[in-house]
Amino acid sequence: MTSEPSRISRRIAAIAESATLKVDAKAKALQAQGRPVISYAAGEPDFVTPSNVVDAASAAVLDPRNYRYTPAAGLPELREAIAVKTLRDSGLAVDASQVVVTNGGKQAVYQAFATLVDDGDEVILPSPYWTTYPEVIKLAGGVPVEVFAGADQGYLVTVEQLEAARTPKTKLLVFVSPSNPTGAVYSPEQTAAIGQWALEHGIWVITDEIYQNLVYSPADSPDSPPVKAVSIVEAVPDLANQAILVNGVAKSYAMTGWRLGWMVGPADAIKGAANLQSHLSSNVSNISQRAALAALTGPQETVELMRQAFQRRRNVIIEELNKIDGVVAPMPDGAFYAYADVRALLGRSWGGVIATSSLELADLILEQAEVAVVPGEAFGPSGYLRLSYALGDEPLLEGIQRLQQLFA
List interacting residues with ligand GLU (CB under 6 A). 18, 20-21, 42-43, 106, 130-132, 180
DSSP 305: H
Distance (Å, rounded) from C-alpha 263 to C-alpha 206?
Answer: 10
Of 83 and 390, CB closest to ligand GLU: 390
Distance (Å, rounded) from C-alpha 144 to C-alpha 138?
Answer: 7
Of 23 and 56, CB closest to ligand GLU: 23
- DSSP of 82-117, one letter per residue? HHHHHHHHH-----GGGEEEESHHHHHHHHHHHHH-
Of 79 and 259, CB closest to ligand GLU: 259
Of 43 and 265, CB closest to ligand GLU: 43
Minimum distance, C-beta of residue 44 to ligand GLU, in the bound complex (Å) = 6
Q: Which one, of 34, 110, 23, 132, lies nearest residue 388 by Cα?
A: 23
Minimum distance, C-beta of residue 386 to ligand GLU, in the bound complex (Å) = 8
Of 43 and 332, CB closest to ligand GLU: 43
Minimum distance, C-beta of residue 179 to ligand GLU, in the bound complex (Å) = 11
Of 113 and 130, CB closest to ligand GLU: 130
* Burial category of 408 from C-beta neighbours within 10 Å (exposed 0-12, middle 13-18, buried 19 and up): exposed
Minimum distance, C-beta of residue 247 to ligand GLU, in the bound complex (Å) = 13
> Under a CB-based contact definition with an 8 Å cutoff, are residues 387 and 373 in contact?
yes
Helix (H) or strand (E) holding 56: helix 51-61
Q: How far is CA 357 from CA 43, 339, 405, in A?
A: 23, 15, 20
Minimum distance, C-beta of residue 189 to ligand GLU, in the bound complex (Å) = 28
Distance (Å, rounded) from C-alpha 197 to C-alpha 234?
Answer: 15
Minimum distance, C-beta of residue 221 to ligand GLU, in the bound complex (Å) = 29
Q: Which one, of 218, 111, 197, lies nearest residue 154 by Cα?
A: 218
Minimum distance, C-beta of residue 132 to ligand GLU, in the bound complex (Å) = 6
Minimum distance, C-beta of residue 144 to ligand GLU, in the bound complex (Å) = 17
Minimum distance, C-beta of residue 372 to ligand GLU, in the bound complex (Å) = 11
Distance (Å, rounded) from C-alpha 266 to C-alpha 237?
Answer: 13
Q: How far is CA 265 from CA 61, 192, 240, 262, 354, in A?
A: 31, 19, 7, 10, 48
Of 195 and 380, CB closest to ligand GLU: 380
- DSSP of 154-167, one letter per residue? TT---HHHHHHH--
What is the chain's alpha carbon radius of gyration, rounded to the nearest angstrom?
21
Of 131 and 286, CB closest to ligand GLU: 131
Of 109 and 318, CB closest to ligand GLU: 109
